[in-house]
């Protein structure tokens, strides 16, 4: 059945389904992950740092083979497989991009995790699930694409069991960010605004969550975008074999905006964890 999506949701879907974006994220970003990594040592690979992000998230939770997890905006499913493989959790992946979902299913088959990781096409602003199904809802660097973040928080609350937790890491703006300072970034992700940590916490509490923790990990944001940029510069020629030059050149400019926004103190990145009473 074809779903009808809002224009913001449709923009994210078309972007992530495009050949340029898929080739870029699949081959350059982090392999099975498309989120900011946590960097501990100089020269560390993007993939290693990216896996550390989901390890950090997992370390905040109590997970075992009975835990039912919903990953929203699940990309290629690297985080879902990490949780399934490491803790035996059952993980449902909800994601908008059919191209990402196909890669996710292929990885699950290759890694014999099909019985643990299920992939569902859909929008996290209107989750196609009954109430109180999950112990954990988790997400990495996906909520920024939503034009209706309050609905995402309400939906996460609705599908969680009582005592369940919503944990996400995301790219955000700081409260002191001057008007217009992030315009080039907003233009690129085609949104009017990015939420702040304060916004998420206030809105999560408004919809009924209790705050467990807010963990600011912003220093990794600049390092991650700088590393991806470095990767492009070092492999520019090869990159042109898999992506259009215009896409790569715009990506270079775009990544520099993220680095500048981070260095100027206008962006933040961190883990937010909430509990449904």
Q: Which residues bind ligand SAM (CB under 6 A)?
A: 9, 12, 16, 33-35, 73-75, 78-79, 94-97, 100, 123-125, 140-142, 145-146
Considering the complex, state which of residue 95 and residue 174 has its C-beta at the smaller distance from ligand SAM.
Answer: 95
CB closer to ligand SAM, 142 vs 176: 142
**Could you tell me the smallest distance in angstroms from the CB atom of residue 54 to ligand SAM?**
8
Q: At closest approach, how far in Å is the CB of 206 from ligand SAM?
A: 20
Tell me the CA distances in angstroms from 228 to 11, 43, 64, 225, 258, one per residue in order.
Answer: 23, 12, 34, 5, 11
Considering the complex, what minimum distance in angstroms separates the CB of residue 57 from ligand SAM? 10
Give CA–CA dist 214/273, Å, rounded: 6
Give the span between the Cα atoms of 55 and 140, in whole angstroms: 12
Residue, CB closest to ligand SAM = 75
- In terms of CB distance, is 146 or 174 closer to ligand SAM? 146
Pure H helices in 91-218: 98-110, 149-159, 183-189, 197-206
Nearest approach in angstroms of CB 142 to ligand SAM is 3
Q: How far is the CB of 70 from ligand SAM (least distance, A)?
A: 11
Smaller CB separation from ligand SAM, 125 or 135: 125
Q: Nearest-5° angle of CA 19, CA 20, CA 21?
A: 95
Q: In what order do the strands lie in the sheet with 210-216?
A: 117-121, 90-95, 68-72, 134-140, 160-173, 267-275, 210-216
Q: And the tokens for 217?
A: 């990990």
Backbone angles phi, psi at 71, to 5 degrees: -95, 120
């Amino acid at each position: 059945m074809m779903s009808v999506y809002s224009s913001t949701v449709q923009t994210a879907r078309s972007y992530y389904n495009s050949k340029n974006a898929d080739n870029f994220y699949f081959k350059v970003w982090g392999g099975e992950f498309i989120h900011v990594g946590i960097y501990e040592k100089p020269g560390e690979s993007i993939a290693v740092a990216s896996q550390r992000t989901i390890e950090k998230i997992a370390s905040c939770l109590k997970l075992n083979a009975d835990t039912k997890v919903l990953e929203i905006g699940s990309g290629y499913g690297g985080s879902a497989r990490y949780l399934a493989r490491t803790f035996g959790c059952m993980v449902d992946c909800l994601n908008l991009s059919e191209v990402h979902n196909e890669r996710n299913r292929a990885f699950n088959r290759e890694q014999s995790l099909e019985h643990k990781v299920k992939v569902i096409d859909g929008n996290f602003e209107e989750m196609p699930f009954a109430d109180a199904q999950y112990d954990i809802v988790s997400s990495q660097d996906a909520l920024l694409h939503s034009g209706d973040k309050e609905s995402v928080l309400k939906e996460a609350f609705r599908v969680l069991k009582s005592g369940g937790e919503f944990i996400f890491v995301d790219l955000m703006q700081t409260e002191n960010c001057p008007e217009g300072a992030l315009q080039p970034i907003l233009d690129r992700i085609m949104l009017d605004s990015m939420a702040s940590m304060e916004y998420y916490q206030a809105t999560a509490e408004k919809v009924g969550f209790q705050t467990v923790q807010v963990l600011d990990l912003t220093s990794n944001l600049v390092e991650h975008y700088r590393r991806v940029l470095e990767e492009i510069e070092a492999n520019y020629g090869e990159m042109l074999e898999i992506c259009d030059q215009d896409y790569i050149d715009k990506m270079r400019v775009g990544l520099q905006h993220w680095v500048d926004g981070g260095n100027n103190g206008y962006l933040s990145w961190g883990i937010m964890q909430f509990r449904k009473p």
